[in-house]
Amino acid sequence: MYSNLREYIDRLEREGELIRIAAPVSTRFEIAELTDRVVKSEGGGKALFFENTGTEFPVVTNMMGSSRRIAMALGVERLDDISARIDSLLKEALSPKGSLWEKMRALPLLADVAKWFPQSVAGRGACQQVVWQGDEVDLERLPMLHSWEADGGAFVTLPMVNTLDPETGMRNVGMYRMQRLDKRSTGMHWHIHKTGARHYDAYKRLGERMPVVVTLGGDPAYTYAATAPMPDNMDEYLLAGFLRQKPVRLVKALTCDIRIPEDCDFVIEGYVDPSEEKIIEGDFGDHTGFYSLKDLYPRFHVTCITHRRDAIYPATVVGVPPQEDAYIAEATERIFLAPIRLAVQPEVRDLWMPVEGTAHNLAIVSIDKRYEGQAHKVAQSLWGAGQMMFNKYMLIASAEDNIRSFSALGRLLRRVDLERDVIRTEGILDVLDHATATCGFGGKLAIDLTGINPNSPVEPISAPRTATPCGGISLFDTRFTEEYSLLLLFADECRPAKVDVEEYLRKNNIHNIKYIALFDYQAAGPMTPSDLLWLAMANSDPRRDVKLLSGGELLLDARSKHPGEGQNPKRFPNVVMSSTDTIRLVDERWAEYGLGEKIESPSRRYRKLWLSPRAEW
What residues are annotated to the active site? 286
Which secondary structure element, helix H or strand E, spans residue 488, and what is its range? strand 486-491
Report the alpha-carbon angle 480-485-490, nearest 5.
60
Paired strand residues for 299: 187
3 state SS of 375: helix
The number of residues making up the chain comes to: 617
Q: What angle do CA 351, 292, 142 make, to 5 degrees?
A: 100
Dist CA 173 CA 225 (whole Å): 8
- Can you tell me the distance from the alpha carbon of 374 to that of 370, in angstroms, rounded to the nearest whole number? 7
Q: What is the residue-wise DSSP string for 11-58?
A: HHHHTT-EEEE-S---TBTHHHHHHHHHHTSGGG--EEEES--SSSS-
Q: Is 245 left (phi over 0), alpha (psi -120 to 50) or beta?
A: left
Amino acid at 170: M
Q: Do 513 and 505 contact (CB within 8 A), yes or no?
A: yes
Longest dimension (CA), the chain: 78
Q: What is the DSSP letter of 396?
A: E
First-residue to last-residue Cα distance in the chain: 50
d(CA 602, CA 322): 11
